[in-house]
Amino acid sequence: MSRTTLAEAPGAVAAPRRPRPARRWLRLVSPVTLVLGWELAARTGLLAPEKLPAPTDVLATGWRLTRDGTLAIHLLDSLTRAGAGLLIGGLLALVLGTVAGLLRLGDDLVDPPVQMARMLPHLGLVPLLIIWVGIGESLKISLVALGAFFPIYFNTYAGIRDIDERLVEAARTCGLGQAARLRHVVLPGALPSLFLGLRLAIGAAWLSLVVGEQVNAQTGIGFLMMEAREFSQTDVVVLGLLVYALLGLISDLALRVVERRMLTWRRGLRAT
Amino acid sequence: MASRTAGHLNRAAPVLTAHAVRRAFGPTVVLAGVDLSIARAEVVALLGGSGSGKSTLLRILAGLDGEASGSTVLHGTAAVVFQEHRLLPWKRVADNVGLGLSGTDVAGRVRRALAEVGLSERHRAWPAELSGGQAQRVAVARALVREPDLLLLDEPFGALDALTRLRMQILLRRLRAEHGFAALLVTHDVEEALLLADRILLLDEGRIVADLPVDLAPTRTPDDPAFGALRRHLVGGVLLVAFGLWRLLSERHFRWAGMRLSAAQLAGWSFLMSSAHGAGLMLLPALVAEPVPGGHSGHLAAAPVGALSGLAAAGVHTVAMLGTALAVAMLVYQVLGVGVLRRAWFNVDRLWAGVLVAAGLVTLIRA
Q: Which of B88, B92, B93, B154 to mutate to test the interface with A (most CBs of A within 10 A)?
A: B88
Across the A/B interface, how many CB contacts are shorter than 8 Å? 65
Q: Given strand B182-187, what is the order of strands in its sheet? A: B78-81, B150-154, B182-187, B43-47, B199-204, B207-213
Q: Which of A27, A59, A53, A28 is nearest to A41 (CA)?
A: A53
| Higher per-residue confidence, B250 vs A99 | A99
| Higher per-residue confidence, B183 vs A4 | B183
Q: Which of B352, B356, B349 is nearest to B310 (CA)?
A: B356
Q: According to the model, what pLDDT value does residue A3 have?
A: 42
Residue B3: pLDDT above 60? Answer: no
Chain B residues inside the 8 Å CB shell of A165 = none
Residue B160: pLDDT above 60? Answer: yes
* Measured distance CA(B99)–CA(B88) in Å, rounded: 9
pLDDT band at B141; cut points 50, 70, 90: very high
Instruction: Say if A268 is an interface residue toward chain B (CB within 8 Å).
Output: yes
Instruction: Say if A264 is an interface residue toward chain B (CB within 8 Å).
Output: yes
The packing angle between helices A187-212 and A221-230, to 10°, is: 20
Instruction: Say if A260 is an interface residue toward chain B (CB within 8 Å).
Output: no
Q: According to the model, what pLDDT value does residue B49 have?
A: 73
Nearest chain A residue to B124 by CA: give it.
A265
Which of B9-13, B121-125, B132-136, B148-152 is predicted with the least confidence, judged by mean pLDDT? B9-13
Q: According to the model, what pLDDT value does residue A272 have?
A: 42
pLDDT for B66-122, tens place per residue?
888 889 999 989 999 999 999 999 999 999 999 988 888 899 999 999 998 999 999
Chain A residues inside the 8 Å CB shell of B74 = none
pTM: 0.68
Residue B147: pLDDT above 70? Answer: yes
Chain B residues inside the 8 Å CB shell of A265 = 89-92, 126-128
Which of A47-56, B49-58, B195-204, B279-288 is predicted with the least confidence, judged by mean pLDDT? B279-288
Burial class (CB in 10 A: 0-12, 13-18, 19+), A12: exposed
Do the Cβ atoms of A174 and B126 come within 8 Å? no
* Pairing status of strand B43-47 against strand B78-81: unpaired
Residue A33: pLDDT above 90? Answer: yes
Q: Give the nearest partner residue to A169 out of B64, B79, B89, using CB atoms.
A: B64
Q: Give the nearest partner residue to A272 out of B80, B84, B128, using CB atoms.
A: B128
pLDDT band at A77; cut points 50, 70, 90: very high
* Measured distance CA(B305)–CA(B96) in Å, rounded: 57
Percentage, residues of chain B above pLDDT 90: 25
Instruction: Say if A180 is an interface residue toward chain B (CB within 8 Å).
Output: yes
Instruction: Say if B126 is an interface residue toward chain A (CB within 8 Å).
Output: yes
Q: According to the model, what pLDDT value does residue B322 have?
A: 64
Chain A residues inside the 8 Å CB shell of B142 = 174
Instruction: Say if A249 is an interface residue toward chain B (CB within 8 Å).
Output: no
* Measured distance CA(A270)–CA(A248) in Å, rounded: 27
Chain A residues inside the 8 Å CB shell of B79 = 173-174
3-state SS assignment for residue A237: helix
Longest dimension (CA), chain B: 83
Residue B183: pLDDT above 90? Answer: yes
Chain A residues inside the 8 Å CB shell of B76 = none
pLDDT band at A238; cut points 50, 70, 90: very high
Do the Cβ atoms of B64 and A271 come within 8 Å? no
Which of A230-234, B67-71, B249-253 is predicted with the least confidence, judged by mean pLDDT? B249-253
Return the ∠ at Cα B188 (arms to B184 and B192), rounded to 5°. 70
pLDDT band at A8; cut points 50, 70, 90: very low
Q: Which of B268, B255, B344, B326 is nearest to B294 (CA)?
A: B255
Q: Which of A164, A165, A174 to mutate to test the interface with B (most CBs of B within 10 A)?
A: A174
pLDDT band at B16; cut points 50, 70, 90: very high
Do the Cβ atoms of A265 and B90 come within 8 Å? yes
Q: According to the model, what pLDDT value does residue A100 have?
A: 94
Distance from CA of A170 to the nearest CA of B (A): 6
Chain B residues inside the 8 Å CB shell of A181 = none
| A7-21, A185-199, B270-284 — most confident range | A185-199
Q: According to the model, what pLDDT value does residue B316 have?
A: 55
Nearest chain A residue to B65 by CA: give it.
A169
Chain B residues inside the 8 Å CB shell of A180 = 100
Chain A residues inside the 8 Å CB shell of B78 = 173
Instruction: Say if B88 is an interface residue toward chain A (CB within 8 Å).
Output: yes
Do the Cβ atoms of B89 and A269 come within 8 Å? yes
| Higher per-residue confidence, A28 vs B335 | A28
* Measured distance CA(B296)–CA(B253) in Å, rounded: 9
Q: According to the model, what pLDDT value does residue A98 have?
A: 93
Q: Which helix (H) or strand (E) holds B261?
A: strand B259-262
Q: Assign residue B204 a region: left if phi > 0, alpha if psi is -120 to 50, beta otherwise?
A: beta
